[in-house]
Structure 1
């Protein structure tokens, strides 16, 4: 039943992709004209490249930061260090901030005006101000930072639960054999956490591919199209250009990209022995 609720909207998107619907009227005729126009749009290749860069950088940043924080909290709790619960709470706080609010917060931090928080701090240190949002390369970095800041909490929760569930006997045996911290991390922690890494990778990738509210509030997709990802391009196609069928075509591209990356993750992270019947 749950699958049906997800399947029906997808089928409706497929139907709209083969029509000529807009936000002002329904489908009057079916064909491949609107799909051909959308796929041949001059802006699409650039948007796909921006989406690739943003997704890869965000996923690596979110998974890496989430894993680092999770392992730090677990190790701190094992040593009864103060503040581990506070650290988890601070990280989780960023997760509950709405995407638009997140973008506005980072827009104020990255502001190039004299009162911009980061540039004001750099000025106190005698460092020249940085064009965080007006430079295309820096704008992408700024968008990735804002997305990583918000998305790290989910990865931390998954990795924290997975790490807490690992058998401590493995680490005790490795310590007896003389394995150092890095060896234990590389040969015990990572292999044992592979299922959690797979789940986090898939879900974080899907979330990142669908992220547009943060970028909409932070840069609006600019400067130019430097930060216009596919989800934002889909949003503007539907709600600014009123092209419902064109937006449906772009939505199907997002689905295909997500499915393709999921297959890649499974190939890389699922043990071959687990895939054998």
Structure 2
């Protein structure tokens, strides 16, 4: 043993640890498997979708060339404006009524719970059941409700109020878009109700009592106290359901398949039809990239609201 090593041993110096040993004291071994899974099932497919959007690939052949033709044909196609219009109407009305109905139901449940009224648990369970049912099943259920033949449940009940001719719920373009939107509102109201009801449970009751002492009526308390305080919750809820509605595919596919014509073809369903019905992988990937950009933009807005909410709480 050399003089330097003897000095180190006497001084109690710890032996040099290996790289693996030092990594064991860090979160890397725990985070690395998750990171690899995310890269394999999330990041890599996104990169591939963006790459294929710049090609003329299809599902039949294996040869393709890199080109911007997929984006050119997407933005210049006559169906592009119709797809955006249908998606905007579908998302706009769905989000508006999901927010309104979810807020109304959450407010009634909150007031019913405070007054110890019976049936609040049953109401919550009934509303939650709509959220728990898969979208394909919801599409099948509402297709049975909207059926135009003798089995059509809604048309059957309409005969009791004097409507003899069956209404073309799903074969008329305008009616089909309204019918799909109504089904999506019924499906998504539950999430808004849960979100807003959770916000109401953390609502400061002393503020309400102070408003009552100042003589504010129920309507004034709602619009001048409750809604302003719940505004961060409402905004986050709105962004989340906008993202969810933009990506709605299964329910619309089960109900109409995008028809009649393309009257109910939202962006997510258009991606499916382009790739698996028209075998146009390049155009489908370009449309998917467009939807990805929309989702990323909405996600950035979502995190901005979260940061503002945290700053407001600190203040």
- Normalised to the residue count of structure 1, the TM-score between the two structures is 0.90
* Aligned counterparts, 1:259-270, within 5 A: 259-260=296-297
Matched, 1:200 2:237: yes
- CA deviation string 1:6-62 (max 9, x = no partner): 444322221111123223455632221222223222211111111111110111111
User: What is the distance in 2 between the residues matched to 1:156 and 1:15?
Assistant: 40
Counterpart-to-counterpart distance in 2, 1:8 and 1:180: 56
| Equivalence for 1:181 | 218
CA shift for structure 1 position 267: 9.0
Alignment of 1:1-277 (within 5 A): 1=35, 6-26=42-62, 28-128=64-164, 129-260=166-297
Query: How many residues were matched structurally?
Result: 273
Is the 2:249–2:268 Cα contact (8 Å) retained in structure 1? yes
Cα deviations across residues 205-253 of structure 1 (Å, max 9, x unaligned)?
A: 1111111221111122122211111111111001111222211110121
Q: Distance in 2 between matches of 1:187 and 1:12?
A: 49
**Aligned equivalents of 1:235, 1:58: Cα separation in 2:** 21
* Bigger radius of gyration: 2
**2:22: which partner in 1?**
none
Distance in 1 between the 2:211 and 2:253 partners? 49
Q: How far apart are 1:84 and its partner, in Å?
A: 0.3
Report SS of the residue matched to 1:187: helix
> Hey, what's the Cα distance between the residues in 2 that align with 1:186 and 1:264?
25
The TM-score with structure 2 as length reference comes to 0.80
Rounded to whole Å, the distance in 2 between the matches of 1:191 and 1:20 is: 51
CA gap of 1:27–1:97, structure 2 versus 1, over 3 A, is: farther
Distance in 2 (CA, whole Å) between partners of 1:267 and 1:28 is 40
Contact 1:95 1:151 (8 Å CA) reproduced:
yes
| 1:261 CA displacement | 5.1
Q: Any unmatched runs of 5+ in structure 2?
A: 1-34
What is the CA–CA distance in structure 2 between the aligned matches of 1:202 and 1:100, rounded to whole Å?
24
C-alpha distance in 2, partners of 1:207/1:133? 23
C-alpha offsets along residues 112-141 of structure 1, whole Å, 9 cap, x if unaligned? 112311111110122343221122221111
